[in-house]
Structure 1
Amino acid sequence: MNAKLSRFSGLTLCVLFNLLTLPVVEHLLSDNGNQLGYSNRAVAQTTEEQIARSVYKKVSPAVVTVKDGKGHGSGFVVSQDGLIITNAHVVEESPSVVTVEFADGRKLPADVLGFAKGGLDLAVLKIHRQNNLQTLALATLGSAEVGDRVFALGSPLDPRYKDTFTQGNITRINKSDGVIQHNAPIYGGNSGGPLLNTKAEVIGVNTSIIGAPGKLNTGMNFAIPVSNVRSFIAAAKKGNLSPISTLKKPSQESEIVSISLNGQDINGNFSQENGFANLYVFQGKAGQKVIIEMTSKTMNPFLSLYQLVENAEGKQSNLITENDDRGAGDFNSQIATTLPADGIYVIEAKSSTGRQSGDYSLRATANP
């Protein structure tokens, strides 16, 4: 009996000990966990980090920097034998052969095979004598939705920053053309690079941004949807390409608008649909002092003033002056000049990069 009682008492003490110490142990574990940074949120973050790392490792070997000696952009491999997709505006003024540089430092020549028809901002390059390049998979049509997590990879600002990986979310999808708006940070040089989903699939080609003066990225970034990319690749494989870029040129993007030098505000807009430069014409007089101002809250304005002249070689436009920033810390543009002769003058209004989207206001005044 005493033995049984002893064993029973021991069992009871063990149970009591467990009941009493379990909350204490949990509390200690909780305290230690908090001190070490462990939490459910941390676990979730770790999962997100794992997804991001997985996407980067899968796609990095297939993303390239496209160089033509004058500038650069980004691109990505879509076939093992060397087809590369980029933006038309990246290579529209390039020679027929450009250089593509991979993340591991390899540099290979690539032919500019051609451009998309109909003004679509896509071009295709070809690396020869390749048969085992790593490629990017294209996402299923219609799989991208607002709120989805997305990733961008490319060479922003300078080729030295190749293989830069950023992330964000889809913030809008244009219902008319499927263009994807997102907030994964991209900059000049990212053009032609892929926009990816969490499966490391291409959902779009990064093409343009809306930037504000003094702030390189506002979180309003745009990508051509994968539906257009699929159609373009199919056309490229059939040889159904344009030999030259079909993007609108400044002279085609808008009509030349006649203005008066009376200080009236003129509102304008740049976009992928409307073009990235506007022209304004006025009749000037020799010795006339002209002030032209261009202001914007969503981009960095750039003004150029030309004089139209006619000689034995025909009609020509001579650059009189141009201006990027009005002053230190002021990204708006202003031209103040004295006209050299009677005649017709043209104002070209655009962004400093030539392809920023956004609204602006233009004003031109003159003193006799």
Structure 2
Amino acid sequence: MMNKLLRFRTLTLCTIFTIIGATSIEQLLPNNRREVWHSSSVLAQTAENQVANQVYQKTSLAVVTVQTGRGHGSGFVVSQDGFIITNAHVIKPPPRNQKELENYNNQDFPSVVTVVFADGRKVPADVRGFGKGGLDLAVLKIQTQSKLRTLPLATAGSAKVGDRIFTLGTPVDRNFNDTFTQGHITRIDKTNGKIQHDAVIMGGNSGGPLLNVQGQVIGVNTDGISGREKLNTGMNFAIPVSQVQSFITAARKGDVSPVSTIFERTKAPTVATISLNDQVVNGSLAEGDPIRKNGSFVNLYQFQGRAGQQVVIEMTSQKINSFLSLYQMRESSEGQELKKIAENDDREPGDFNAQIATSLPEDGVYLIVATSQERGETGNYTLRATAKP
């Protein structure tokens, strides 16, 4: 009788679990077990929020808005005696169109700017110098303020892909000062250490700090890639702390450039004409060529294109890490404006040659910017342009 009873109980349990087999184990647990699981998730989220809040509280008062006669950017205090780091292009922007290019003078920039702290204090700051060799950094100096908050620098090389990061700055408009965003490191360039991340930054964030979870500076936000609607794409870049540390050391010794070097006109830029009939041009990047914001040398080419035309542009070299950009040239009341159409630095993974394959949006003149991915690279290259029917 007992054996029959045991068989009956076993059969009953098997039947029950067969019937409710689609039910999750979580639903079968007592409410207190489910509450424990839910509480763990909430605690994890709360801990993440606490980290973000702590980073903001520790760093906010050391981050400033840098106001110039032309606009604004961001910066941060690095020492009790009033040294502030920002981007060179915040103080002296590179030319944005043909008219500005023709009139560009790298010595024409304000010697004194205004820095605004998160608590509303406005303080004049002397422009003490710029990074050499195209480094997009500038150092400012204010008179010592009482209880001046500073940001510590992280150990060089401590940042890793996947790390959680934070930004502070003044995007878009100076009324948006003290804006705090967060994200993760998505890439670190193996050659120059430049940090790519997905925290939201926009115009005005330039010069602001990129922070780790300890509130230490791991980089200086410098630029990003925007979509066609001027929206942030999540591809943003920061100068690594190793270069920031070296720059601060040089600045204290007075070993900085008196003018911005991110765009140097050592010789007037020339624009060569290239045809789309599979023409091959042998060129070279050399000392004395115009310089991009990242310090790389530039050669310029133009061609006449048609709306809907499929074009393929290739840049190959055994000497340099090729980089191509394609712009549409437009006339405006301020002169010629450039609209970016496409850019590419590698044809495919492991291939340092560049290729752009795209459809032209309108009839008109287009500008090819042939350069290198890395600052200061020189060497020969071959450029080929083709239009597909």
Report if aligned partners of 2:302, 2:368 keep a CA contact under 8 Å in 1: no
Counterpart of 1:28 (choices 13, 16, 31) is 31
1:323 CA displacement: 6.8
Report if aligned partners of 2:186, 2:196 keep a CA contact under 8 Å in 1: yes
Report if aligned partners of 2:134, 2:295 keep a CA contact under 8 Å in 1: no
For residues 185-213 of structure 1, the C-alpha deviation after alignment (integer angstroms, 9 at most, x for no partner) is 11111110000100000000011112221
Counterpart in the other structure of 1:272: 294
Counterpart in the other structure of 1:48: 48
Counterpart in the other structure of 1:117: 132
RMSD: 3.9
Separation of aligned partners in 2, 1:235 and 1:271:
20
Counterpart of 1:235 (choices 250, 253, 257) is 250
1:110 CA displacement: 0.7
- The total of aligned residue pairs comes to 290
Stretches of structure 1 that go unaligned for 5 or more consecutive residues are: 1-25, 283-289, 307-317, 327-331, 338-346, 351-362
Alignment of 1:95-114 (within 5 A): 95-114=110-129
Report if aligned partners of 1:74, 1:190 keep a CA contact under 8 Å in 2: yes
Stretches of structure 2 that go unaligned for 5 or more consecutive residues are: 1-28, 94-108, 281-291, 312-323, 342-359, 370-384
Q: Percent identity?
A: 52
Alignment of 1:3-82 (within 5 A): 27-30=30-33, 38-82=38-82
Separation of aligned partners in 1, 2:72 and 2:241:
23
Separation of aligned partners in 2, 1:153 and 1:74:
8
1:27 CA displacement: 2.5
Matched, 1:303 2:325: no
Counterpart in the other structure of 1:88: 88
Separation of aligned partners in 2, 1:111 and 1:325:
35
What amino acid sits opposite 2:222 in the alignment? T
1:262 CA displacement: 6.1
Counterpart in the other structure of 1:144: 159
Alignment of 1:339-354 (within 5 A): none
1:321 CA displacement: 5.0
- Residues 131, 171 of structure 1: CA spacing in aligned structure 2 closer, same or farther, 3 A cutoff? same
Counterpart in the other structure of 2:208: 193
Separation of aligned partners in 1, 2:145 and 2:361:
48
Counterpart in the other structure of 1:256: 270
Separation of aligned partners in 2, 1:63 and 1:133:
11
- Residues 84, 171 of structure 1: CA spacing in aligned structure 2 closer, same or farther, 3 A cutoff? same
Describe the SS at the equivalent of 1:218.
Answer: strand
1:132 CA displacement: 3.1
Separation of aligned partners in 2, 1:95 and 1:348:
32
1:233 CA displacement: 0.7
Report if aligned partners of 2:78, 2:85 keep a CA contact under 8 Å in 1: yes
Matched, 1:134 2:149: yes
- Residues 179, 321 of structure 1: CA spacing in aligned structure 2 closer, same or farther, 3 A cutoff? closer
Separation of aligned partners in 2, 1:117 and 1:176:
18
Report if aligned partners of 1:154, 1:165 keep a CA contact under 8 Å in 2: yes
Counterpart in the other structure of 1:9: none
Counterpart of 1:179 (choices 194, 199, 209) is 194
Describe the SS at the equivalent of 2:30.
Answer: helix
Report if aligned partners of 2:225, 2:233 keep a CA contact under 8 Å in 1: yes
- Residues 162, 182 of structure 1: CA spacing in aligned structure 2 closer, same or farther, 3 A cutoff? same
Describe the SS at the equivalent of 2:181.
Answer: strand
What amino acid sits opposite 1:157 in the alignment? V
Separation of aligned partners in 1, 2:224 and 2:340:
20
Structure-2-length-normalised TM-score: 0.64
Separation of aligned partners in 2, 1:217 and 1:301:
20
1:274 CA displacement: 3.8
1:86 CA displacement: 0.3
- Residues 69, 206 of structure 1: CA spacing in aligned structure 2 closer, same or farther, 3 A cutoff? same
Structure-1-length-normalised TM-score: 0.67
What amino acid sits opposite 1:231 in the alignment? S
1:300 CA displacement: 11
Separation of aligned partners in 1, 2:113 and 2:120:
16
Separation of aligned partners in 2, 1:69 and 1:335:
37
